[in-house]
Amino acid sequence: MKRSFLYSIFVVAFFFCLKADVFAQGCVQCRMGPSSNLEGGGNVARGINSGILYLMLIPYLLIMSIVAYVFRKQLNEKWMLIKAFFGQKITH
């Protein structure tokens, strides 16, 4: 446990010591390719943007569905407590 914690601290510190230029090497190619294609009348940039939005949609829907499930479960438990308190006179 202690060894793995120290190892993870070392790895994180190592990545913080790297220059930011190392992480940004591919950004010029990813930006210039679609933008030059868009200026030429192509649809590559629009396709890349649509793909990014599609890839972002799935995790957000998954998280929202989990939150909705937990919220409805808690709301149902509270409603059962209210029904028990008033002696089942309230209809849902």
Q: In whole angstroms, what is the distance from residue 46 CA to residue 32 CA? A: 14
Residue 33 lies in a domain: yes
Residue 47 lies in a domain: no
Q: Are residues 12 and 38 in the same domain?
A: yes
Using alpha carbons, select from 61, 40, 60, 38 the residue that is nearest to residue 48.
Answer: 38
Mean pLDDT (whole number) for 58-79: 93
Q: Are residues 62 and 38 in the same domain?
A: no
Please state, for a pLDDT cut of 70, what percent of the chain lies above it.
77
Q: What is the pLDDT of residue 73?
A: 92
Q: What is the pLDDT of residue 1?
A: 59
Q: What is the mean pLDDT of the chain?
A: 78
Specify the number of domains making up the chain. Answer: 2
The token pair that represents 54 in the structure block: 């599609």
44 contacts 29 by C-beta, under 8 angstroms: no
Q: Are residues 29 and 62 in the same domain?
A: no
Tens of pLDDT, residues 10-38: 887 777 776 555 555 556 666 677 777 77
Which range marks the domain in which residue 4 is found?
1-42
Q: What is the pLDDT of residue 29?
A: 63
CB-based contacts of 43: which residues, under 8 Å, 6+ apart? 37
Helices (H), 1-88: 2-17, 20-23, 27-39, 44-86
